[in-house]
A and B are shown apart, each in its own frame.
Chain A
Amino acid sequence: MVIKFWFIFLLSTQLFAHKIEGLNLIITPIESDTISIEGKMKGSGKKLEGNKIALISMIDKRILEEAFLEGGKPLQLKIPQESYWVYLYVGDQDVVEEGPAPKEGFKKIVTSQKERAFRTMGTLCLGFITLFLTISGYRIYGYKRRKKAVSLRF
């Protein structure tokens, strides 16, 4: 029994996406409101070359800026004035990170949504599992009590 719950619990913890195993998208803010962007392989430390980078607005999903990683140098881009994501495209997949804010803050802000889906659904999952555990506990308790009552009667 315990094993089964454990499996379902494990299943429910696996809710991530937009990450590619073994690939790092490194974003570091530097002076005068620019960011430097690098893609690195985790294992070999090899830098990505030629991949497309896009800054995408969180507000209306419009592409703010597009550029390509070149020659192993970190790519430097100006920080946009609204909340944005940094997309790195590799083959058919993409890696997404939330971009850092400029010094004076964004002019237009949306609240961070990074973990929103994960948190909502994770809570819902665990909520149902807790409900399941409490209800079955309650049922078993009732069952045992009834049995006791029956055996006392005789």
Chain B
Amino acid sequence: MLEKSLIFKYLYRSHTIIGLLVLFLFYMSTYFGTLTFFMPYLKVWESPSRHFAPQHNHAFNIDALLDEVLEKHHFLGDKPVEITLPSFRDPLLKISSEAQNSLYINPVTNEVLKVAKEENLISTFFNELHTGIVIPLVGMPLMGMMSVGILFLTFGGFWLYLQKRSHRTSSKASWRATWLSWHKITGLAIIPYALVFALTGAFLGLMLSSSQPFAWSMTHGTVSNMRTLVAPILFAQPKYKGGETTKQMLPFSTLQALAQEHYPQLSITNATLYHYGKEGAKVRFRGYDKENVAQSGRVNRPSITLDASSGAVVEHKTLDKTHGISRTLSTFYFLHFVPDETLGLRVVLALFGAILAISLASGYLLWAEKKLHQQGFLADLTNRVSIAILIGIIPSSALVPFLHWVLAYELFDKEIWIRGTFYAFWSFWLFYTVFERSIVMIISRMLKSAAWLLLLCVLFHGLKSGFFFWQSFHQKAWILFYMDLALILSSMVLFYMAKWVEKKELFYRYERKGVFDGY
């Protein structure tokens, strides 16, 4: 058994080392993950086809339209047709099928839209940066490993806090003490948040990508894809036989009302049409259970199936009838994705995410403080590179929505341009941190450029889509209005921070020593 003080020492050291290893990638994941909480709203904001004021509760009526649309766009056939009802996630109604490109209908005007794939460019890109999938092959497992590291840091940090040893904090007023208290306070505040999100994140990053050997060994070397093994059991798709003769269907709204009547707790989000227009056609309504949102997430939707011509109930699958593992999985996913929750919870979680980012950054500063008084160039160089990564991420990510609105929609490789510019801009900041001598200058220029880019992207959004924020206010398109407002506000905050950095004594300290002496 190790002596207690020795355990403390080991844990303290490993907390530092693992923290430094995990910090940069997890910071990236935290930063983009926090932005991803607002993904549904970002999606609306980034696509002009969703720029309208939706009706109350996203009401719609496609009764007159449905038959014609399905016929005209080659949807009728053996493959089931999936209808995603308008919601806060996407105010458009979507019709899709396995073998067809999706169709979008504006629920207010009942107009069939042609929507380019590029329109979800920002949110997809941010999400991919969050999961680490942008790094080929190793990206997702790597992020999973980072999450495991964060779990260790959370537990270890809490244990270290409990020991309450006042170690080597000689003067209370030193910066080290300041960073330590910041790191402690923020770290304690986000323990439950970090545990839930790092645990689920580790599961998503590591388990899903490394399930192949398990599948392979369980099937004695025949199948290596876990999904093909579990999907038929967990996500069993019902198979219905359709007749040949055509038959008159009940209107869609009637069917929906009937489904709602038979299953009042169901909040319908999707409908699937089987053999629509033929004899024996079925419609399956899926959604989440209002009394148990967590267990009825997108992987485990309870459903009710109706006969499309008579309206009789064919199958009534309540939440109790779903597979236990699906329910667990759904709860698990719910904790990470909060799929059906709206703004309130998302804002709270995003605040926690910001605190986590501060905690990570103050952890770095704590280490940097120690290195500041050492000889050599290494400390200065790591400080500069860290600034390029931790703060340089802000202007680089602000560039993405800006370019999204500036570049033409018709550009066929728009996505590559934007992603490429993001990386190029980020590496530009990496170069700039060693090129420019003054650290304060570097930070304030980064913040200022981010602030300008955000302001400009609000401007170009207005110019390109015709929805300036006063117009969206006037037309009561609240999501657009609040998105613009949030961008302007964050731009103001960044301007203020840039000014604040220039005044602050603290940041000049990092310029005194190191590589740039006598420059």
* Contact between chains at A117 and B100 (CB < 8 Å): no
Complex alpha-carbon distance, A118 and B410, angstroms? 17
Which residues of chain B from 327 to 386 have a CB within 8 Å of any chain A CB? 377-378, 381-382, 385
Residues on B with beta carbons closer than 8 Å to the beta carbon of A152: none
Interface size on B, residues (CB 8 A): 48
With a CB–CB cut-off of 8 A, which chain A residues contact B413?
17-18, 113, 116-117
Nearest Cβ on chain B to A64's Cβ, whole angstroms: 14
**Measured CA separation A109–B136 after assembly (Å):** 34
Contact A121 B434, CB 8 Å, known A13-B136, A92-B102, A96-B412: no
A93 with B117, Cβ < 8 A, contacts A4-B389, A14-B134, A17-B415 known? yes
A8 CB-CB contact with B under 8 Å: yes
CA distance A134 to B242 in the complex (A): 69
Cα separation A50 to B417 with both chains bound (whole Å): 31
Give chain A residues whose Cβ lies under 8 Å from the Cβ of B161: none
For the complex, give the distance between the alpha carbons of A57 and B107 in Å: 32
Cα distance, A113 to B411, chains bound together (Å)? 11
Q: Nearest residue in A to B128 (C-beta to C-beta)?
A: A14
B420 touches A120 (CB 8 A): yes
Stretch in A24-32, A99-107, A123-131 touching the partner: A123-131
Tell me if B87 counts as interface (CB < 8 A to partner A).
Answer: no
Considering the complex, which residues of chain B in the window 413-429 have a beta carbon less than 8 Å from any beta carbon of chain A?
A: 413, 415-417, 419-421, 423-424, 426-428
Report B78 CB to chain A, min CB distance, Å. Answer: 10
Q: A143's contact among B377, B416, B424, by CB below 8 Å, is which?
A: B377
State the CA gap A13–B139 with chains docked (Å): 13
Candidates B135, B385, B433, B519; contact of A11 at CB < 8 Å: B135
Query: B79: nearest residue on chain A (CB-CB)?
Result: A50
Shortest Cβ distance from A54 into B: residue: B101
Contact B74 A68 (CB under 8 A): yes
Task: Say which residue of A93, A117, A140 sits within 8 Å of B377 (CB atoms).
Answer: A140
In the complex where A92-B101, A117-B417, A124-B420 touch, is A139 in contact with B96 (Cβ < 8 A)? no
Contact yes or no, B96 A91, CB < 8 A? yes
Scoring A residues 16 to 43 as 1 if CB is less than 8 Å from chain B, else 0, what string do you get?
1110000000000000000000000001
Nearest CB in chain A: distance from B91 CB, A:
16
Bound-state Cα–Cα, A17 to B125, Å: 11
Are B426 and A8 in contact (CB-based, < 8 A)? yes
Q: A129-B430, A132-B430 are in contact. Are A14 and B135 (CB under 8 A)?
A: yes
Nearest chain A CB to B386 CB, angstrom units:
9
Hey, which chain A residues are within 8 Å of B96, CB to CB?
A: 91-92
* Shortest Cβ distance from residue B46 to the other chain A in the assembled complex, whole angstroms: 14
CB < 8 Å neighbour of B102 from A8, A14, A91, A116:
A91
Give the chain B neighbours of A124 by CB distance below 8 A.
Answer: 420, 424, 427
Report A-chain residues with C-beta under 8 Å of the C-beta of B424: 12, 121, 124-125, 128
Q: How far is the CB of A77 from chain B (nearest CB, A)?
A: 17
CB closest chain-B residue, reference A120: B420
Known: A4-B385, A10-B135, A132-B427. A50 touches B74 (CB 8 A): yes
Residues of A within 8 A of B134 (CB): 11, 14
> Of all chain B residues, which has the CB nearest A4?
B385
CB distance from A145 to the nearest CB of B (A): 10
Report which B residues bind A (CB closer than 8 A): 24-25, 74, 77, 79, 96-97, 99-102, 117, 120, 134-136, 225, 377-378, 381-382, 385, 389, 410, 412-413, 415-417, 419-421, 423-424, 426-428, 430-431, 433-435, 514-519
* Closest 3 pairs (CB-CB, A-B): A121-B420, A50-B99, A89-B101
